[in-house]
Chain A
Amino acid sequence: MDALLYFERRAEDEEEAGGDLRWYVTEDGEFFHARGDGDFRLARRFSPAQVERLRDAVADIGLASLPPAQPPDEGVIEERWTAGGETYVVYDTDEEPAAIRDLRRLVDHCVAESRVSG
Chain B
Amino acid sequence: MRHERLQRERENEAALSRPARTAAEPAVARVLALQRSAGNAVVARAVLARNFTHGSYQDALAKKAEFIKDGLYHRNDFRPSTGRGNFDVVYDPTGGRLIVTVRCNFVFLKGSESDWPEAEPEELAWDPAAAAKWKRDFMKLVSEKWSNKFTFHCTRPWWEDLVANVKIRFVESAKDPHYDLNVTKIPEDEERGSSVTAPKWYEDKGKTKFDSEDLRPHDKPAGTQRPAIHEAGHMLGLGDEYPAKKGKKARSAAHDVLVRTEFGHGVPRRRDGRVMSNGEDIEPEHGVTFMEALRVVTKMKEWSFEAKPPMAVPSEPMDGPLPKPKQDPLAPEEPEVAFA
Contact = CB atoms under 8 A, between A and B. Distances in A.
Interface stretch (B5-13, B238-246, B259-267): B238-246
Nearest to B115: A21
Interface stretch (A12-20, A55-63, A82-90): A12-20
B218 interface: yes
Interface string B122-159: 00000000000000000000000000000000000000
B193 A111 contact: no
Given A93-B197, A94-B197, A95-B207, A15 B114 contact: no
Given A108-B114, A111-B114, A12 B248 contact: yes
B194 A16 contact: yes
Contact of B195 (A7, A31, A77): A77
A64 interface: no
Contact of B121 (A9, A18, A92, A112): A112
Contacts of B195: 16, 72, 75, 77, 92-93
Given A15-B221, A15-B278, A43-B118, A74 B197 contact: no
A111 B114 CA distance: 6
A33 B248 CA distance: 29
A61 to B, nearest CB: 16
Contacts of B83: 73
A19 B194 CA distance: 9
Interface in A5-63: 7, 9, 11-21, 23, 31, 33, 43-44
A74 B221 contact: no
B113 interface: yes
Interface residues of B, number: 32
A80 interface: no
A13 B277 CA distance: 11
Contacts of A18: 190-193, 218
A72 B197 contact: yes
B209 interface: yes
Given A18-B193, A19-B192, A77-B193, A104 B221 contact: no
Contacts of B190: 18
- Grouping DSSP codes into helix (H, G, I), strand (E, B) and loop, the A interface class, with mixed when no group exceeds half, is mixed
B109 to A, nearest CB: 11
A16, A23, A77 — most chain B CB neighbours (10 Å): A16
B41 to A, nearest CB: 51
Interface residues of A, number: 34
Contacts of B251: 73-74
A93 to B, nearest CB: 4
B117 interface: yes
B220 interface: yes
Interface string A83-118: 000000000111100000000100111011001000
Nearest to B230: A15
Nearest to A25: B114
B327 interface: no
A74 B239 contact: yes
Interchain residue pairs A-B with the least CB separation, the first 9: A18-B191, A19-B193, A19-B192, A111-B113, A43-B117, A16-B193, A108-B113, A93-B195, A107-B114
Given A18-B192, A23-B117, A77-B195, 18 more contacts: A9-B115, A12-B245, A12-B248, A14-B221, A14-B245, A15-B221, A15-B278, A16-B193, A16-B195, A31-B117, A43-B118, A75-B234, A92-B195, A93-B196, A93-B197, A93-B209, A94-B197, A115-B117
Interface of B: 83, 112-115, 117-118, 121, 190-197, 207, 209, 211, 218, 220-221, 234, 239-240, 242, 244-245, 248, 251, 254, 278
9 contacts: A14-B245, A15-B278, A18-B193, A19-B192, A92-B209, A93-B209, A107-B114, A111-B117, A115-B113
